[in-house]
Amino acid sequence: MKNKKTKIALISMMIFLMSTVMAFAEEVDIAQVNADKYGFLTLIPPIVAIVLAFVTKNVVVSLALGILSGGIILNFAGFNIFYTIVQAFLDLVNRAVGSLADPWNAGIILQVLAIGGVINLVSKMGGAKAIAEALSKKAKSARSAQIITWFAGLLVFFDDYANSLIIGPMMRPVTDGMKISRERLAFIIDATAAPVAGIAIISTWIGLEVGLIGDAFNSIGVDQNAFGVFLSTIPFRFYNILILAFIVITALLLKDFGPMRKCELQARRGGQVLEDGDKLNEQISKEHDDLEPLEGVTPSVWNAIIPIGTLIIAALIAFYYSGYTAIMGSEDAATIAIMQNSPISFAAIREAFSNSDASVALFQSALFAGIVAMAMGVFKKMFTVAQGIEIWIDGMKTLLITCVILICAWSLSSVIKELGTAKFLINYLSGSIPAFTLPSIIFVLGAIISFATGTSYGTMGILMPLAIPLAYSINPDMSYVIVSTSAVLTGAIFGDHCSPISDTTILSSMGAGCDHIEHVRTQIPYSLFIAAITIVFGYIPAGFGLPVYVVLPLALIAVFVGVQIFGKSVEVEQE
């Protein structure tokens, strides 16, 4: 009996120890462990993906090889190379499946496809052509066409994905008619997507941004209104503001530099392209114009205004409803009271948008807009119900490659996260620094991480818990902390805007009908130019304590002067 009791006690102790070890294992930060273990090797997947994207000009292959390289590192089995490669391939498949299994990602894929269907319906109903003709009357020149595109991008402020997918197809015929390159159009779309959504007071971004700010202040025991801090950072979001100003300045002056100028000159000359420095070839477009209406259909702007207007209004309603139901199902008594007592107040709308599921809301609105567009087409006897569904599905087909690229980008982000790439960068680059340089260093860190990982959300989530406590420990003055906080938010935007593996960059190139690698290649010099001005004329003076009403005009003047110095005219004589 005694022996039996001893065995039971030993078994119980073993179970307790195993459960303790398992619980401890769950608490271990795998990313940090891998960052310490692999060191510089954690940089291989993003470097492989980015370098190959430029070399091969094939995004899918580049992303896939980047994922495989990460899988090889994680599953390395010594001399058994064959086993390592097989495991890396299986890891790639599992990550792709896992990406689609994520509800947020699935919602993004569905809304991309659904919006593609809506755009195709609008096109076949003659709405896109009518809008293009109406806008072309306003767009009398390349200048006005670019300004109109920029302004249209500002109007779709609530979500960067919606911006990229709506503005591109709508403005493409207008900019084509004014001989503006697809690369320039993609740049304008991209620069009015994440940079606008990131500073909008009501958008799908604000929930994450305000939430991260609040958590960071709570972690150091400082009572601050997170939304108030967010509002205070807006004037210091130099990269966002300067890239928007840069579009207007270069459009009005008709000046470009770097690869973008070559593309603009090529477009102005009617499609000629300079290759290998010597050989001048005419670029002949053989692609079918998907914006042409069905035969016998009379173009009408209402065939675009009603479906696209439905998409935007339904999206805003869906955001509110999604956030409202999430809040009412939570245990946050204060927020619930706001929704109950003043459901249409600014505070209520802000909270609803902050708590909404953007991917689902956008899919709901795109699906509803598609139904409205089909109903219009059937009612006006443009097509039958069966034909309308076929047109809707054909529109989805054009964006299948976008979905493939998105899945690959998410899978690469997954392997980068597990390897601890971002944590390695932070640990390696962090250290004792002068106070005035902290905002600039945070911006650079955010830019590097977001460019390497292609995600602004992930970058914000990594840096915000570190930046606010660090800034507060160096200088507890709130103005200094706010500048450092803004550096996190705008540094993360840099990568979202120009990284070749960023969702928004991918969608912008697709929306503009531009080769993705060409979009990235022509856009990066502009992004780096604005990033340099952001640091030199923005965050360094702000780090010294200069007020924003001095710093921001100074930075804007620097952008104008820089364009005058480096930019050259893209106007050519008409033959």
Note the maximum CA span of the chain. Answer: 106
Report the candidate in 471, 454, 450 with the shortest Cα–Cα distance to residue 239. 450
pLDDT at 210 over 60: yes
Q: Which two tokens stand for residue 534?
A: 């952001």
Q: Looking at this protein, which amino acid is placed at residue 311?
A: L
Per-residue DSSP letter, 255: E
pLDDT at 4 over 60: no
Report the candidate in 161, 150, 149 with the shortest Cα–Cα distance to residue 197. 161
The residue with greater pLDDT, 276 or 478, is 478
pLDDT band at 207 (very low <50, low <70, confident <90, very high): low
Q: Looking at this protein, which amino acid is placed at residue 484?
A: S
The residue with greater pLDDT, 468 or 208, is 468
Give the Å distances, CA to CA, from 31 to 76, 104, 316, 421, 461.
17, 22, 37, 8, 14
Cβ(140)–Cβ(341) below 8 Å:
no
Report the candidate in 298, 285, 542 with the shortest Cα–Cα distance to residue 437. 542
For the ranges 235-249, 265-279, 288-302, 499-513, the lowest mean pLDDT is seen at 265-279
pLDDT band at 322 (very low <50, low <70, confident <90, very high): confident
Cβ(477)–Cβ(441) below 8 Å:
no
Mean pLDDT of 331-353: 85
* Three-state secondary structure call for residue 412: helix
**Residue 285 confidence (pLDDT):** 38
Mean pLDDT of 477-495: 91
HSE-up (13 A, CA, CB side) for residue 165: 31
Q: Please state, in angstroms and rounded to a whole number, the distance separating the CA atoms of residues 151 and 174.
A: 14
Cβ(315)–Cβ(141) below 8 Å:
no
Q: Report CA torsion sign: 272, 274, 278, 284.
A: negative
Q: Which two tokens stand for residue 389?
A: 């569904």
The residue with greater pLDDT, 399 or 217, is 217
Note the pLDDT tens digit of each residue in 536-545: 999 999 999 8
| Residue found under tokens 């955010």 | 446
Q: Looking at this protein, which amino acid is placed at residue 329?
A: G
CB environment 349-362: b (16+ within 10 A), e (fewer): bbbbbbbbbbbbbb
Residues 6+ apart with CB under 8 A from 560: 249
Residue 555 has φ and ψ, to the nearest 5°, of -65, -40
Q: Looking at this protein, which amino acid is placed at residue 567?
A: G
Q: Please state, in angstroms and rounded to a whole number, the distance separating the CA atoms of residues 391 and 411.
A: 31
| Residue found under tokens 């958590």 | 215
Q: Please state, in angstroms and rounded to a whole number, the distance separating the CA atoms of residues 510 and 512.
A: 5
**Residue 47 confidence (pLDDT):** 83
Note the pLDDT tens digit of each residue in 393-434: 988 887 787 788 778 878 887 888 888 877 787 677 655 578
Alpha helix ranges (H) inside 330-437: 333-341, 346-354, 358-379, 385-397, 400-419, 421-429
What residues form DSSP beta bridges with 272? 282
pLDDT at 127 over 90: no
**Residue 572 confidence (pLDDT):** 67
CA 111 to chain centre: 15
Residues 6+ apart with CB under 8 A from 38: 73, 419, 420, 424
Q: Which two tokens stand for residue 241?
A: 């503001």
Query: To the nearest whole number, what is the mean pLDDT of the chain?
Result: 81
Percent helix, strand and coil across the chain, each to the nearest 5: 80, 0, 20
Q: Looking at this protein, which amino acid is placed at residue 47?
A: I
The residue with greater pLDDT, 107 or 239, is 239
pLDDT band at 280 (very low <50, low <70, confident <90, very high): very low
**Residue 136 confidence (pLDDT):** 65
Note the pLDDT tens digit of each residue in 24-53: 344 457 878 888 888 888 888 888 887 787
Cβ(37)–Cβ(423) below 8 Å:
no
Q: Please state, in angstroms and rounded to a whole number, the distance separating the CA atoms of residues 411 and 280.
A: 39
Q: Please state, in angstroms and rounded to a whole number, the distance separating the CA atoms of residues 67 and 409.
A: 9
Q: Which two tokens stand for residue 575?
A: 């033959």
